[in-house]
Structure 1
Amino acid sequence: MATHESDAALWAPLEITADDGGGAEALRSTLEEIGDGLGELLAREKAIVFRDFRVTADQLDPVLDRLLPNRLAYVHGDSPRTKVSGVGENVYTSTEYPPEYTIFMHNEMSYAHAWPARLAFFCEVEPGGGGATPVLDGALWLRSLDPEIREAFSCGVCYVQNLHDGLGFGKSWQDTFETDSREKVEEYLDGSGAEWEWKADGGIRVRSIRPATARHPVTGTEVWFNQADQWHPVGLGDETAAELATLLPEDELPQNTTFPDGSPIPAEYVRQIQEAGLTGAVDVDWRRGDLMLIDNVLVAHGRRPFTGSRRVLVAMSD
């Protein structure tokens, strides 16, 4: 295998490129060479891109077994995804937003009481144009924000979800928690420290207060680690936010964020967070069969707009 780092002035993922045409066996051999050092390598490099191994979807399962020690279901996930059959346990499509939209930088499930430690992305169908997955050093993101914003968020973030019962805007509680059992939802939420209430229409409102930053359990690095900007109405874009405001009162939006005391997060804070995230990100362009493994605490990710087809699968582990 050949390894090299990007010439980017700041951080960029480590790239490991296949020798001799690659293939799933070559990738498995590469991962065997790395062996038990994968965790240490990932903590140091933060993200690893495996190029030109030409893995196919039907070869993915044993590869993911090596990259992700305990694949997780997307329980309490907030973005629209589809669980994929025939490629192994707990593999999902990446967020199913229209191709013309940018998905801003975020750490997966940073709004939750527990989140995946690792994510693996697999390009099954490369985009016709665009469609890169930008990745971002979370410590750089934190440093790039104005001191005023860092201070304002020092008390944390309050996330509010309104999940419908099968008909409405956003996701249903059944899709979100991957169950039809109210008892299982209640058990999960009670263990998460969230406040919740069932509504008369069969939906549920969930309120969670979480920190705005996190420290990596191995390196101790502090990173920007929240989704306040994505859940905030401004994060929807002015046009979409305006349309929703005509249909729903603020406390009935599918998701929203405030500061923990209920005071609003200024729109200009949200815009700076998003702009700083995309400005500091490094684009990972996709070729069919490529994989990327990221440390979900140290690295945020997003999606650039694309044309044509694009199918990137994702799996997660603790």
Structure 2
Amino acid sequence: MTETMTWAPAEITPSDGPLPGLLAGRLDELLLSAGAVVFRGFGITPAALDGVLDRVLRDRLAYVHGNSPRSHVGDRVYTSTEYPAEHTISMHNELSYSARWPARLAFYCETAPGSGGATPVVSGAAWLAALPPGLRAAFAGGVRYTQNLHDGHGFGKSWQETFEAAGRAEVERHLTGMPGTTWEWKRDGGLRITQVRPATVTHPVTGTEVWFNQADQWHHAALGDETAAALARIMPEEDLPQHVTFADGSPIDPAYVLAIRDRGLAAAVDVDWRAGDLLVVDNVLVAHGRRPYSGPRRVLVAMSG
């Protein structure tokens, strides 16, 4: 039997007080206790967004080493994702495959979707508790991520786009000193990065252990049988844009991958968007995803260390 946990993000409305005071006085406390906070009904406008983000995120970061397709739309502000609208994005903590990840994320709804398009969020502790004990034991040794980035022409993302860099030296400066990380420049100009990371981490303040990896998103089983088979005909697994194994290099059972994905989504709470809403997330305590949608949807994201 797996444990069950009841969890939901905190919701703050104008009845709780003016937004500047709430951001200055209660946000840190709420994030530690709830992990995610929705500010709803304040009517934050695009023109006011930079000022709000300055209060929420003390040191905005560039989206360096990110693997999600997105566009840069402002001062370290990005579209949340440009993954096709008809697909679900499973639960994940931003950059959990890296030795460096943002501590805090802020999502802002500029245009609400016509239908669907919620951002599901899940407590990492609840996600961990929802996983079968045998699965958790199998992942105790951690995971190994392999990333193949082309040199401007190829399948997947380029290393220039991924690292927002024009030269190799800038990429190497980012990767140098990251625990468990090795890399090599390939003959075709591409870059292969290998990272060994734990499957769970402990929050530095609360001490909470959380599920914290992207094994299900990086594994070919999550692509569906037909897509995985088609890719297998084109290239070996180790040459795919993204590939994951256990830390010792042994394969991960596809059944584990689907259980991780499905139980994370099942335990999640949907944040349905209205224009002007703001969602702030502790990126260790809480994972996020995206439900399919139709019609216009524009959700922006920024992050901080």
Work out whether the TM-score is over 0.5.
yes
1:181-227: CA deviations, max 9, x gaps?
A: 10111121122131111001100100000010011111100000000
1:11-62: CA deviations, max 9, x gaps?
A: 111111125xxxxxx98x4232452442122101111101111112121000
Q: Do the aligned partners of 2:110 and 2:276 also contact (CA within 8 Å) in 1? A: yes
Q: 1:313 aligns with which of 296, 300, 304?
A: 300
* Matched letter for residue 78 of structure 1: N
Provide the rounded CA distance (Å) in 2 between the counterparts of 1:84 and 1:35.
Answer: 26
Partner of residue 249, structure 2? 262
Partner of residue 175, structure 1? 161
Partner of residue 11, structure 2? 15
* Matched letter for residue 47 of structure 1: A
Q: What's the offset of the Cα at 1:66?
A: 0.5
Provide the rounded CA distance (Å) in 2 between the counterparts of 1:189 and 1:241.
Answer: 29
Provide the rounded CA distance (Å) in 2 between the counterparts of 1:236 and 1:53.
Answer: 39
% identical equivalent positions: 62
Q: 1:38 aligns with which of 20, 24, 27?
A: 27
Secondary structure of the equivalent of 1:143? Answer: helix
Partner of residue 160, structure 1? 146
Aligned residue pairs total 300
Secondary structure of the equivalent of 1:192? Answer: coil
Provide the rounded CA distance (Å) in 1 between the counterparts of 2:52 and 2:23.
Answer: 13
List alignment gaps of at least 5 residues for structure 1: 1-8, 20-25
Partner of residue 52, structure 1? 41
Q: Do the aligned partners of 2:35 and 2:286 also contact (CA within 8 Å) in 1? A: yes
Provide the rounded CA distance (Å) in 2 between the counterparts of 1:100 and 1:37.
Answer: 36
Counterparts in 2 of 1:33 and 1:78: CA distance versus 1, 3 Å: closer
Q: Do the aligned partners of 2:93 and 2:286 also contact (CA within 8 Å) in 1? A: yes
* Matched letter for residue 244 of structure 1: L
Q: 2:289 aligns with which of 302, 308, 317?
A: 302
Provide the rounded CA distance (Å) in 1 between the counterparts of 2:257 and 2:193.
Answer: 22
1:256-279: CA deviations, max 9, x gaps?
A: 100111100010000000110011
Provide the rounded CA distance (Å) in 1 between the counterparts of 2:209 and 2:49.
Answer: 33
Secondary structure of the equivalent of 1:123? Answer: strand
Provide the rounded CA distance (Å) in 2 between the counterparts of 1:109 and 1:103.
Answer: 15
Structural mapping, 1:197-276, within 5 Å = 197-276=184-263
1:91-119: CA deviations, max 9, x gaps?
A: 00011111110000000000000111110
* Matched letter for residue 193 of structure 2: V
Partner of residue 89, structure 2? 103
Q: 2:172 aligns with which of 178, 182, 186?
A: 186
Counterparts in 2 of 1:33 and 1:187: CA distance versus 1, 3 Å: closer
Structural mapping, 1:85-104, within 5 Å = 85=74, 89-104=75-90
Q: Do the aligned partners of 2:19 and 2:42 also contact (CA within 8 Å) in 1? A: no
Partner of residue 114, structure 2? 128
Secondary structure of the equivalent of 2:20? Answer: helix
Provide the rounded CA distance (Å) in 2 between the counterparts of 1:37 and 1:68.
Answer: 14
Relative to the length of structure 2, the TM-score reads 0.95
Task: Provide the aligned C-alpha RMSD in A.
Answer: 1.4
1:46-87: CA deviations, max 9, x gaps?
A: 1110111111212100000011111000111111111103xx
Secondary structure of the equivalent of 1:49? Answer: strand
Provide the rounded CA distance (Å) in 1 between the counterparts of 2:85 and 2:176.
Answer: 37
Partner of residue 278, structure 2? 291
Partner of residue 4, structure 1? none
Provide the rounded CA distance (Å) in 2 between the counterparts of 1:59 and 1:285.
Answer: 21
Provide the rounded CA distance (Å) in 2 between the counterparts of 1:33 and 1:103.
Answer: 31
Structural mapping, 1:72-83, within 5 Å = 72-83=61-72
Q: Do the aligned partners of 2:23 and 2:56 also contact (CA within 8 Å) in 1? A: no
